[in-house]
Structure 1
């Protein structure tokens, strides 16, 4: 006979959140209740909680990094990034984002996929620098154009990571593809799959790089002023 009592932990979470109790307390109570109702003793439940915390302790690093980035932004990180790019001769939004695309793809291909990202790189550094380069090259921009520059910055990070990480043979997606092929009788090594990801990454770089340069040129085409 199936024991449905351990599912009471779900009800505890729902009720606790609905009543706006402390989330950490609700989760701990639900976990303890699930373990006890599942037949474990108190010591076994505490051991399971301790092991889960120890195995996933690296997740807490995120909560340290994000406040640091916020503190840097509060003290002028974006303004410093804009000032730096304004002092670089010949810097344009298109060239800057193409270089970042190359950097993102190469580092992701080497397994360093977390070296960039929207919260830690795009928002505080890449987007302000791209916006400053666009202002330097094309003058004042409308609000819609500024948002497009920010969107292109975020898209560049996405494209670089997505098509670069598959070149790294130890990434989860490569291992998943290998498992699917092997289940159908096609034994392939992760390295073989990674090699075939290189042409796709090159095409992605050329296509998105062309889009970035075309968008930069588009910003440079200003509508003629209409004089009364």
Structure 2
């Protein structure tokens, strides 16, 4: 057995430990692995090109992030805050509980990318939650602002994690099905999705209670 291709792993470990450019480290490790496995250099480059072409949708990220950055640059967060400030009865607790429900429902329908930290939490949800907290409790300290932002991010995580398993065509459901099948339990993805509903409901109730309790704690220490 040829163990030389495993040197590619060592290249990755050493390169990251020495803080070299990650892209160069990964490409260098891939080329070294291919050459040590006996492939022609042109074949290695061809394999890299095919992998990039097959996964070219990943490059869409580099289009989305500048768009979000431009929107923030021209006042997206300020407009989000203004919307909340103009709403009567808006509180941080109500806002985040509503977003939690929205995130879980859309994830359960397979629309898991409709939210997320870069495209929803940072430019919209966190500023709106912060504005709602300030509207209700007055000026917040720097530590309290950070906690509000962290709660907004946690709400997105909980909503996605416990909502997506209700959608039977998600990779996690297929993984669970494979594990059960290897143990002798033949279950369909739909059966697993149905059993994910009680967990999602419990997650909503528990995290919703945490959000409302956090909102009350902010009020108890407001100045």
- The two structures have a TM-score, normalised by structure 2, of 0.89
Instruction: Tell me the equivalent position of 1:36.
Output: 35
Aligned pairs, how many? Answer: 223
Written as runs of structure 1 = structure 2, the 5 A alignment for 1:196-215 is 196-215=195-214
Written as runs of structure 1 = structure 2, the 5 A alignment for 1:15-164 is 24-25=23-24, 27-164=26-163
Written as runs of structure 1 = structure 2, the 5 A alignment for 1:145-224 is 145-222=144-221
| 1:144 Cα deviation after fit | 2.1
- Structure 1 vs Structure 2 CA RMSD: 2.3
CA deviation vs aligned residue, 1:93-135 (integer Å, no higher than 9, x gap): 1111011001100111011112111122111110100010111
Q: What SS is found at the alignment partner of 1:133?
A: helix
| 1:81 Cα deviation after fit | 0.8
Q: What SS is found at the alignment partner of 2:140?
A: coil
- The two structures have a TM-score, normalised by structure 1, of 0.87
Distance 2:177 2:43 in 1: 37
| 1:29 Cα deviation after fit | 4.3
Written as runs of structure 1 = structure 2, the 5 A alignment for 1:5-24 is 5-10=4-9, 24=23
Gaps of 5+ in 2: none
Distance 1:123 1:66 in 2: 12
Structure 1 residues 4 and 62: alpha-carbon distance in aligned structure 2, compared to 1, 3 A threshold? same
Distance 1:19 1:145 in 2: 37
Please say which structure displays the higher CA radius of gyration: 1
| 1:70 Cα deviation after fit | 1.9
Distance 1:28 1:16 in 2: 11
Q: What SS is found at the alignment partner of 1:122?
A: helix
Gaps of 5+ in 1: none
| 1:153 Cα deviation after fit | 0.7
Distance 2:131 2:216 in 1: 15
